[in-house]
Chains A and B, each alone.
Chain A
């Protein structure tokens, strides 16, 4: 509580009760509203029961404002402990309050758009540089296979490949089921039920199997790469490696990229297989196409090229996912928040690039007429 009154000697400010940080909100307004003038200000603290730095700040702030407007300030009834505290606080009070709120004008916004565009260009260059570096190390590893970290490679293959089998197989199976079911409803109208086999096999083998596998792997392993290498970056482990003469690309990036290069085609194959099984099963249940007929039709009308086109794309997708994830990890700066942002960016970018690359392949193969 504060109370002020004025007499011939100037202004008296009587403060009483508890002045503690946790309950300052009650008295904050009263202190702020206290108008200082150039006369003598006497602050009576004899009724103050508890005081901490927060309360002392309010009193010191009043005193500072009073002095600024030319008053002389006296304290009354100040206990020795409170006096020491008040003195310490008054010494450390800063005149200029820190501006927390930033004002953003239209020009700032334009500037930030420009900065971001320039940054996007720089990022692209940096990504290409990283891709080149990784390819160089990849070729060197290929020429000098004893430099490959086998233990890391195997553990990455287990993490990114083996453990992804259930989810990839389930995804493939369900895609097959959905395609068969949706295809059947449409094809029934034309009495062309049997073409459901081509619908499933061509769309899955050529496009969907590997594309959806790549998307799952990008979400599953790409994020894990970025988060784990990014945390190492925060902990200065990458710098430590460099000082020990270890090449982070060779130690961290190559095993992950090679693991993806090996495992993504295998996962894609599993997804293809599961989709054909799912599609076959659904065709049998829904359309009465027997498994025997499904397989015969598959052999006759779907060329090996449909399967090959899907598989050819797998290593490229693997490279994109691995390189984007590791590059994003290397861009992590200092904080946990940065790891989170980079992990999100890693997943979004690698999925986008995989789809864009798939579109390019699509055009390429149709021009090549396969």
Chain B
């Protein structure tokens, strides 16, 4: 039931710590079953890419883990806390230790970019106004936005800048885990590559664990340590991307050995 787990290549050392542990997850909308007995582990410090065809429930899985969607059955542990049934207080504490960047940014449209990034700080810390400002503009600078954009409203930014601003907001509280929903969708190839590089750099500098839903083969090859393929209502297979081509499943074969995949692979090796 568990899918074929391939040989793991731990990122550092022999001791791996699961920061997210999903067990026997079932998600159902009316008669439509999206996930059935889905199991997934995310290890500390890795970049995990979630791929799958349209409608296989990649975003639903993300939303379920961060508590925006209540599953029909199963258990989810994040940083050792049961996020579905654990005590309210502990779940609140956990929420500050992850950051979520939604597909279109989901920035608060009535606040400026800086105010957006400061919003979580304002809510969860007792810092002085000037320090919050400084940390906000630091995060904005970290994600590669010019300081000029601090005072702009989200509607005045381009799509790519909105995604970066969303990442800055997700990083505001220095979370341990960052969830990204299609971070490079809708970006031009140069912008997407720059964003990949940014995530890689931040992941390295801040020691993040990244849970990334993506369709972008370039991202998978460039920055993902591991890939989990959603199909047939579960995690069909997980492991380093190099091993995906060996999996005997028609969708996985087509996805990872198609012309676009080969091109992405060559590009990934060049880096």
Contacts and interface: CB of A to CB of B under 8 A. Distances in A.
Nearest to A336: B109
A84 B201 CA distance: 10
B125 A21 contact: yes
A24 B125 contact: yes
B68 interface: no
A345 to B, nearest CB: 16
A234 B109 CA distance: 10
B5 interface: no
Interface string A81-93: 1001100110011
Contact of B135 (A54, A84, A85, A338): A54
A320 B144 CA distance: 49
B227 to A, nearest CB: 26
Contacts of A189: none
Contacts of B133: 97-98, 100
B155 A335 contact: yes
A97 B134 CA distance: 7
A334 B156 CA distance: 8
With a 10 A CB-CB cut-off, give which of A25, A81, A92 has the most chain B CB atoms: A92
Interface stretch (B21-29, B81-89, B146-154, B240-248): B146-154
B219 interface: no
A28 B135 CA distance: 12
B139 A53 contact: yes
B109 A53 contact: no
A61 interface: yes
Contacts of B206: 52-53, 85, 88
B34 interface: no
Contact of B142 (A20, A22, A88, A100): A88
B144 to A, nearest CB: 9
B110 A22 contact: no
A82 to B, nearest CB: 10
Interface string B126-163: 11111101110111011000010011011110000000
A52 B141 contact: no
A94 B207 contact: no
A21 B135 contact: yes
A92 B207 contact: no
Interface in A334-363: 334-338
A22 B124 contact: yes
Interface string B178-211: 0000000000000000000000010011110000
B127 A98 contact: no
Given A25-B125, A81-B207, A333 B134 contact: no
A85 B204 CA distance: 9
6 tightest CB-CB pairs across the interface, nearest first? A334-B155, A335-B109, A337-B110, A52-B174, A92-B141, A25-B126
27 contacts: A20-B174, A21-B135, A21-B172, A22-B124, A23-B125, A24-B125, A25-B126, A28-B131, A52-B206, A53-B135, A54-B135, A57-B135, A84-B205, A88-B201, A92-B138, A92-B141, A98-B114, A98-B147, A98-B151, A334-B153, A334-B155, A334-B156, A335-B110, A335-B153, A336-B110, A337-B109, A337-B110
